[in-house]
Amino acid sequence: MQHICVIFLTFAKLFANTVGCSMEAAIHSNTWRRWRNFALLLACAVLLTGCGAFRSAPDSGPAPESARKVVKTAYTQMGKKYRPGGASPQKGFDCSGLIWWAYNQNGVKVPRITTDQAHTGQQVPLSSARQGDILVFRTSSGPRGLHTGIYAGGNSFIHSPRRGENVRVESLDVPYWRNKLIAVRRVVY
């Protein structure tokens, strides 16, 4: 808001100097009102354009080394038992616990809970997915009906599926997983 006031006063001074009258007289003239409206419109356009100008498009190139390390770290837990609330090799993992642990081991902070992981980072299309991206699946209704995994490349992901199962790799070519996928989240750029 302060920027708009500065722009407003700058235009008022410029207009007053151009017309050759006092700033107060310039502000009350009809010509000034046109200039003021134009200046406000221009300021709004600049501000609105600027809001999106600094958000870069997700990089769909090769995954950075830190993202590849997250995948390698998750692979070290292949075969570990699923455990509700688990987030360590000693206790086992639930789906979000595996993601939290693998990222944390590589110095990257991500939320611990699936619903929070579903909103972390930046969303990217599946066609741009790369190693280390978090895949979000809608496996049942309600807020607890989400499941997450780590994209491993080659249309596959690693996850801790459910009670009685172990950490493993799945293919996104399997219709069940392809149909349940609702988001790909990029945390490491």
Q: Which of 44, 51, 95, 119 is catalytic?
A: 95
User: Residue 58 — pLDDT band, cuts 50, 70, 90?
Assistant: low
Residue 59 lies in a domain: no
> Between 101 and 49, where is the model more confident?
101
Both 87 and 177 in one domain: the answer is: yes
Give the integer Cα–Cα distance in Å for 135 and 132.
9
Phi, psi for residue 148 in degrees, rounded to 5? -130, 155
The position carrying tokens 């929070």 is 116
Asked if 95 is an active-site residue, the reply is: yes
Asked if 5 is an active-site residue, the reply is: no
pLDDT at 16: 54
Both 86 and 41 in one domain: the answer is: no
Asked if 147 is an active-site residue, the reply is: yes
Residue 58 lies in a domain: no
Both 121 and 180 in one domain: the answer is: yes
Both 69 and 49 in one domain: the answer is: no
Both 39 and 119 in one domain: the answer is: no
Residue 84 sits in a domain whose CATH number is 3.90.1720.10
Both 137 and 70 in one domain: the answer is: yes
Q: Which of 3, 5, 51, 147 is catalytic?
A: 147
| Arithmetic mean of pLDDT, 72-90 | 98
Give the integer Cα–Cα distance in Å for 124 and 133.
9
Structural domain for 17, as ranges: 2-53
Q: Which of 28, 51, 119, 159 is catalytic?
A: 159
pLDDT tens per residue, range 128-183: 999 999 999 999 988 789 999 999 999 999 999 999 999 999 999 999 999 999 99
